[in-house]
Amino acid sequence: MPGFEEVNYYFRKAARVMDLSARVEKMLVTPFREVKVDVSITLDNGELGTFIGYRVQHDKSRGPMKGGLRYHPTVDMDEALGLASLMTWKTAVVNLPYGGAKGGIAVDPSTLSAREVERLTRRFVQQIHDIIGPHTDIPAPDVNTNAQVMAWIMDEYSKLHGFSPAVVTGKPVDLFGSRGREEATGRGVVAALEEYLKDAGAGEIRGKTFAVQGFGNVGSWAARFLHERGARVVAVGDARGAIRNPEGLDIPRLGEHVQKTKSVVGFPGSDAITNEELLVSNVDVLVPAALGGVITEANAKEIRARVVLEAANAPTTPRADEILGERGVAVLPDIFVNAGGVTVSYFEWVQNIQQFRWEEEQIGAELQRHMREAYATLARVVRERKVSFRTAAFIVAIGRVGRATVLRGV
């Protein structure tokens, strides 16, 4: 996963193009708050389970801080710092009135029962409730967390602060969540690609070939929307392995297979391949949609796709990004491509604040508008500054955050 310095590499690259002063640069990269807490619970067998929880709040100049909570063994302070700063730049790229935050618990939730995960979640909220809130810091689902976990967070926080549905987003629809939230990131990924193809004069999605690495929430929805638009998704992978069919995989049937078996592996009518082979598939578009750091210096020269659509957070290392740029591969960056999730999270928060529910058609139309306007801004900066899409995204984000910071006063 991306560390803080890895994200700051891209920040500094854009800062140099902008001729940002060292003082402003230091101010913008320095996190507002870093929190590390002990999260101890009684396990089902009566033993004590001790875990470490993290919450990094990076920047609040443009509004309440926003970002996911993940339950994964790799969660640590450096990862939380990197991801929190990415959220600052992501919310700014799509012009949402938010800052950035991120966090989670260093735990493998597959080793815990549902009751243990609930106890862990509620204990974590007890440890951080005084630094989160509807107008302070609004968590959301991330790796290994879901609508149920968000419901527990909302409930525990509300016990301490009164009824507060807006404290988290990504809640179940029956508990003040938003329609369209589950598929929002995948829908935004496809919207980002459509805008790029239109702008590049590269036609439409129909008939193009795709490899999707990761078949969780983001990858599965992205693959489904691509399939519906006539794309040929020829390779899909998950943590257990990958599959390929040059004629194109039947994505709806694959979804049913994954529901039954919990993996894409063994899908009838496909050949087994490794995730490493998937990444270098001979396709038009590669969609990394799993964890970060999968496109590296070691495999960047072998990538055959002409477009890399970053559905995951930080799937490309800085050196790999340089190699892809030198080879003329268009990399559409994570802080734009996967911003559909936080955009619809914003819509959910707005509905909670207003206590008024939007129709799904309105949510879909507003998401398309945000992605379209964000792409238009990025494309203009790419042309004017003659930079990559990633550098353009950071230039736009730094400009917005920097102006808000200066206007508010230091």
* Token pair 């700063």 in the structure block, residue: 85
Name the pLDDT band for 3 (thresholds 50, 70, 90). Answer: confident
3-state secondary structure of 293: coil
**pLDDT, tens digit, 9 for 90 and up, residues 233-273:** 999 999 999 999 999 999 999 999 999 999 999 999 999 99
Residue 7 confidence class, pLDDT cut points 50, 70, 90:
confident
pLDDT digits (tens, 9 = 90+) for 26-53: 999 999 999 999 999 999 999 999 999 9
Residue 386 designated active-site: no
Active-site annotation holder among 102, 198, 260, 262: 102
Here the contacts of 373-378 (C-beta below 8 Å, separation 24 or greater) are 373/95, 374/93, 374/94, 374/95, 374/336, 374/339, 375/192, 375/195, 375/196, 375/199, 375/336, 376/195, 378/93, 378/336
Choose among 173, 127, 185, 180: nearest CA to 153.
127
Question: 360 is written with which tokens?
Answer: 């799904």
| Residue 2 pLDDT | 61
Per-residue pLDDT tens for 104-156? 999 999 999 999 999 999 999 999 999 999 999 999 999 899 999 999 999 99
Structural domains of the chain in order of their starting residue, each with its CATH number: 31-167 (3.40.50.10860), 184-337 (3.40.50.720)
- Edge-first strand order for the sheet with 232-238 is 271-273, 241-244, 232-238, 209-213, 285-288, 307-309, 330-332
Output the pTM of the full model: 0.94
Q: What is the pLDDT of residues 202-238, one digit of tens each?
A: 999 999 999 999 999 999 999 999 999 999 999 999 9
Helix/strand/coil percentages in the chain, nearest 5: 50, 20, 30
Average pLDDT over residues 363-377: 97
